[in-house]
A and B are shown apart, each in its own frame.
Chain A
């Protein structure tokens, strides 16, 4: 049974079509990579799934129910959480409050005393134990990314959308990051990740979807897809083909 399904999803901005007739399915529990060169429409696809942008055409369904006609807050309540390409912390809130913001407004809200233990556990999960009181805008880049992930997890998602969450990390941080996502996969969360770090994609994803110029050009097991000549050409340019 597919958790998420896209059928003919299209998004145009004025004359420019960013996503063109995109269709794919995610099976519950999968970790899938969404690949493609810059400007191929990956982030737009995530934005369409999370409801940040309305679709121009096509249908997106979650567990068989259409979500492409409802707003982002209702999609969030159906169990979709995300991170952003450029980290979007809530700068005037503390680290703990950033996480609390997700706990408080999810479908089954957690609030008050009860939330404190949740926050502590979520922050510990991402390696930010004991830092709840710190102002969010004082965190380092990697810690901001961790906090954003904790916030996404606090929404108790079935489907997690990660937009280049591993970008910009140093090798040590990258290893820690990959381990973290692996642990999420083991909890049964379905993950769709947009990623340029190929090592991470190989380590994490069982399956990959490749986009170019708004359309899907490949979809299959990671190793096969990454070996595909067309993918390499699209991704790395003709020189490497």
Chain B
């Protein structure tokens, strides 16, 4: 891991030196030695942990994969070029991110820019991508605004769905369980008071009500809450079979531990971001089995298994089972679009991304209205894998295990 980092640093330094040398010169095809990929990601600050799991390792893996394969073939230019990276730390602030993208676009003259991590940063950098005509492959943004945003920013692509997708899928899944008599009618929801939690709870609350569920608890808690004893204690006395938390990583883990300690073991235990993280089984111990959450993967896909292996080998950690594979798939889409266009014409590449069909680790993908609609929406830990239970488009989902196994008290 350390050696890898050192290499990227050297690479980054080399690139910026080169950029300074080349500044102002027109970049001609025959002068090219590489395809320049730029990104600004949070390496420090509040978003660093999230980006360190879903975004940065996949960027590294993709560059490594492409370069090991000899680079990208640009048929119109008659060359095959390796990828060269210019990376910046956006320090988890929007202001830095916007400026870094301006810099990548106009100083470093990179060919393509990869987006930062998270919904807010992707929304905030949308106009800047648009202004410089770079396609934006937002693989870690969950927003119901996507249909409007693609109208506003023609070359933006939204890959992780919106709050309604996840909420509706969850409700549909639970309706079936209720009809099968596996769970009762009572549901408790706790949501983190941040963009993600609110988007999902806003979609879920009416969906649950319309489906005839009784919402006996529906509250938010602030970002940064560390003690969930009050919430779990209250919910455990309400007789719910279904507990839903639209939570963020540290809360996701804390909620699990608190529920185990309080021996609150509802038949359906659903959590938000972080459930699909490879670290989750370490946190929850044997109790991870049967926990549901956002995301999921196809456990039978060989391409995905190979991706997991390569990712683990390069980064020293497994990818998460939600946004990681989609992030990697977004890069594969970019890669294939570039190769099909045969040069670095961003307009043409963006059009190809809009209209083409691509073969990725998550299967065959065709964007609908610039959005990835083929998504795993609900997953569950089964046999050590976070398998998909519900998919927006395709079958082949695993059946949920309801009730989940009862908690095993920690030793």
A and B touching (Cβ–Cβ under 8 A): no
Residues on B close to A: CB < 8 A?
none
Residues on A close to B: CB < 8 A?
none
